[in-house]
Copies of this chain bind each other. A is one copy, B any other.
Amino acid sequence: MSLSPELTQKILAEVAAGFEEQIAFTEALGRYPSLRGQEHTAQDFLHDALKTRGYAMDRWAIDVDEIRHHPGFSPVTVDYSNAINVVGTLRPREETGRSLVLNGHIDVVPTGPLEMWSAPPFEPHRDGDWLYGRGVADMKAGIAANVFAVDALARLGYRPAATLYQQSVVEEECTGNGALAALLRGYRADAAIIPEPVDDKLVRANTGVLWFRVRVQGVPVHVREAGSGANAIEAAYELIRGLRELEAAWNARKTDHRYFEELDHPINFNVGKIAGGDWASSVPAWCEFDCRIALYPGEKPAEAAREIEDHLRQVSESISFLANNPPEIVFNGFFAEGYVLEEGSEAEGTLARAHLSSYSAPMQSFVSPAYLDGRVFVIYGDTPCMVYGPVSEAIHGFDERVSLSSVKRITGTIALFIAEWCGLEEI
């Protein structure tokens, strides 16, 4: 089943030969500011790049009505007109191998204050082994790796001997509805790879994630009567403190969850955005803040959501202003379960062999406390999905960067995986 040493070396050499072009492609992708709601121009670029390569192309805007019934659906508060998924399909003459999805997400998170960046975030640049730019690590380098792994095989005269899908999806950073929409459009395969920036390792399990917005609203007054009104901004902080308590309680449960008991702090709560009030001299009448919290695989988002609501109600009851003005809680994004990639699958065995050839070192796995679209494949597609990708630093931060030597090896692994998993046929 495994590849010959000669073919292995030929493939890795061809990946290396194409790597400068792959970096240029990654940089080109990185120049598109594919923030939420404006991913479509990057998707159009990718669509054309795949079409030129001979993929059969599919491009569509997510239709909420087509996915909202699904248990993996996350609530949406934005317009999806420009939430475009792109899938390219490469078919063999004869389907002799096992089919594969190569998936990546095109959406990137906001940059934060530009002055905190050493260089403009949407003008990728290299410095030694690092390629810098917003979304370059998370995860345009991965999308490029998917494309160039197949390209390397093509330059050697080969095509996968089973159907291969290149998926570029949106909404991975906020709902996971992009990958879900692709699944519900009918895309299925015998395995999937998502080259997220996960430090040259395989994700064994990850957390689910919930997003929610909490809004405090009450009666404001002139600050001269500060005692008679209640400050919504400071009331919000009582709730944030309460959510930190909930986080601690959930972390204490880690011993009940396989793979997570070894993590120091598997459940991360984050308050990521806040806005409140409108005038320094008015006691603020409102404050709202956006939160993210993780949940263990197997825990249902709806139950976790109820626990959050109950906890915030409890906190509110002890604070007179909040008791009179109970906070409003809206689940406005991720409503997603975590997953566990069961050990011992053939797909994982194949990936481990490919990794060993590419890295000359055994593949390690780890448990991630972050959301990953892998859950769509594993939980709802019953597909072994291997989230496996390059070394990075500061994703979601300033000066986000990806290690190019790592990307090259990851690309080699993916190319070898395709060769063994799908098999090869001559073009």
Q: Closest B residue to A173 by CB, please name it.
A: B281
**Are B279 and A396 neighbours in the complex by a CB distance under 8 Å?**
yes
Task: Tell me the chain A residues, 276-297 only, with Cβ under 8 Å from chain B.
Answer: 276-287, 289-292
| Cα(A334)–Cα(B138), bound, Å | 45
Q: A371 within 8 Å of B by Cβ?
A: yes
Also in contact, A397 and B280, with CB within 8 A (given A268-B226, A285-B116): no
In-complex Cβ contact of A233 among B220, B264, B280, B289 (8 A): B289
Q: Chain B contacts of A274 at CB under 8 A?
A: 233, 274-277, 284, 287
In-complex Cβ contact of A110 among B110, B282, B287, B291 (8 A): B282
In-complex Cβ contact of A284 among B269, B271, B284, B334 (8 A): B271
Also in contact, A281 and B109, with CB within 8 A (given A234-B240, A271-B234, A274-B276): yes
In-complex Cβ contact of A272 among B109, B264, B265, B280 (8 A): B280
Also in contact, A284 and B273, with CB within 8 A (given A240-B237, A394-B221, A396-B223): yes
**Are A272 and B284 neighbours in the complex by a CB distance under 8 Å?**
yes
Also in contact, A278 and B396, with CB within 8 A (given A268-B224, A289-B233): no
**Are B398 and A281 neighbours in the complex by a CB distance under 8 Å?**
no
In-complex Cβ contact of A217 among B109, B116, B287, B395 (8 A): B116
**Are A273 and B277 neighbours in the complex by a CB distance under 8 Å?**
yes
**Are A222 and B397 neighbours in the complex by a CB distance under 8 Å?**
yes
Contact size class for A?
35 or more
Q: Chain B contacts of A9 at CB under 8 A?
A: none
Task: Tell me the chain A residues, 315-355 only, with Cβ under 8 Å from chain B.
Answer: 333-334
**Are A113 and B273 neighbours in the complex by a CB distance under 8 Å?**
no
**Are A281 and B397 neighbours in the complex by a CB distance under 8 Å?**
no
In-complex Cβ contact of A280 among B270, B280, B282 (8 A): B270
Distance in Å from the Cβ of A387 to the closest Cβ of chain B?
13
Also in contact, A279 and B109, with CB within 8 A (given A222-B370, A397-B285): yes
Contact with B along A127-161 (1 / 0, CB 8 A): 00000000000100000000000000000000000
**Are A281 and B396 neighbours in the complex by a CB distance under 8 Å?**
yes
| Cα(A369)–Cα(B228), bound, Å | 14
**Are A286 and B113 neighbours in the complex by a CB distance under 8 Å?**
yes
Q: Chain B contacts of A370 at CB under 8 A?
A: 222-224
Q: Chain B contacts of A122 at CB under 8 A?
A: none
Q: A209 within 8 Å of B by Cβ?
A: yes
Task: Tell me the chain A residues, 209-233 only, with Cβ under 8 Å from chain B.
Answer: 209, 211, 217, 219-224, 226-227, 229, 231, 233
Q: Closest B residue to A222 by CB, please name it.
A: B396
Q: A112 within 8 Å of B by Cβ?
A: yes
**Are B272 and A223 neighbours in the complex by a CB distance under 8 Å?**
yes
Q: Chain B contacts of A395 at CB under 8 A?
A: 221-222
Q: A38 within 8 Å of B by Cβ?
A: no
Q: Closest B residue to A213 by CB, please name it.
A: B280
Q: Chain B contacts of A286 at CB under 8 A?
A: 112-113
**Are B221 and A397 neighbours in the complex by a CB distance under 8 Å?**
yes
Q: Chain B contacts of A334 at CB under 8 A?
A: 281
Contact residues of A with B, CB < 8 Å?
Answer: 109-110, 112-113, 116, 138, 173-174, 209, 211, 217, 219-224, 226-227, 229, 231, 233-234, 237, 240, 264-265, 268-287, 289-292, 333-334, 368-371, 394-398
Pairs A–B under 8 Å by Cβ, sample size 25: A113-B286, A116-B217, A138-B222, A174-B280, A211-B281, A219-B398, A220-B396, A221-B394, A222-B370, A223-B268, A224-B268, A224-B368, A224-B370, A226-B270, A233-B271, A233-B274, A233-B289, A237-B237, A271-B277, A272-B280, A272-B284, A273-B280, A273-B284, A281-B371, A283-B396
